[in-house]
Amino acid sequence: MGGTMKNRIIVTIGWISVILPQITVIQSIINDQEAYNHCLTDNNAFIAIIWPIAQGKETAIKKILNRYGKILYHKPFYFDKLSAYKILHYAHQHIPNGQPHCGSLKEHVKWYFPKGTYKNQASIYLLWFERSSDAISCKRTIRMLFPQLQYRSIHINDYHAETIQLAKFFFMAHDS
């Protein structure tokens, strides 16, 4: 007979009882459809975008992502101008076109995708974090790898609704 007690599992076999830490089982994800479905059901799922402007530190980035959370799925992605506008609109909804203190979305796209950047690969990660504060710490640590880029090296969403929105964009086939 077993029971649970504050993130612990009590396993009893005969007269022996053992208290074990509760383990969160995270499934292996092998394709876009599974990644999308996972995002729909797991409130601890986050999407990270390593922007194409942030190049050359993929090994360090993966170590940091796994230190703060767990990489569930990785997808290489190449942006074109239209997809750059769409994703920055999703990821930075606080920057509507023409808001004077933030600049326009067009200016933002130029800042994230300077000349020659579209040829660089972006990395899209589906991540699992125990707490949203872990996601914040993770992106701050990765941004320290690219001090000259400020916050343009990585985006990790803040809310589960955005996870679903980004997952739909990156993991569901859509017409061009």
pLDDT digits 0-9 by tens, 48-83: 999 999 999 999 999 999 999 999 999 999 999 999
Q: So what's the pLDDT on residue 70?
A: 96
CATH label of the domain that carries residue 73: 3.30.70.141
133 within domain boundaries: yes
144 within domain boundaries: yes
128 within domain boundaries: yes
Segment 12-28, tens digit of pLDDT: 676 776 666 554 555 67
Domain that holds residue 88: 27-171
Q: Residue ranges of the alpha helices (H) in 113-150?
A: 132-145
Q: Given a cut of 50, is residue 162 above it in pLDDT?
A: yes
Give the pLDDT band of residue 8 (cuts 50, 70, 90).
Answer: low
- Beta carbons within 10 angstroms of residue 21's beta carbon: 8
Give the pLDDT band of residue 11 (cuts 50, 70, 90).
Answer: low
Give the pLDDT band of residue 97 (cuts 50, 70, 90).
Answer: low
176 within domain boundaries: no
Judge contact between 49 and 162, C-beta under 8 A.
no
152 within domain boundaries: yes
Share of the chain above pLDDT 70, in %: 78
139 within domain boundaries: yes
Q: Give mean pLDDT, residues 89-99.
A: 66
20 within domain boundaries: no
- CA gyration radius for the chain? 19
Give the pLDDT band of residue 98 (cuts 50, 70, 90).
Answer: very low
How are beta strands 16-21 and 2-4 bridged, if at all?
Answer: unpaired
10 within domain boundaries: no
| Of 28 and 131, the one with more pLDDT | 131
Which residues are CB-neighbours of 154 under 8 A, at least 6 positions away? 48, 49, 50, 51, 54, 61, 139, 142, 143
Domain count, the chain: 1
Give the pLDDT band of residue 2 (cuts 50, 70, 90).
Answer: very low
Tokens encoding 45? 């799922």
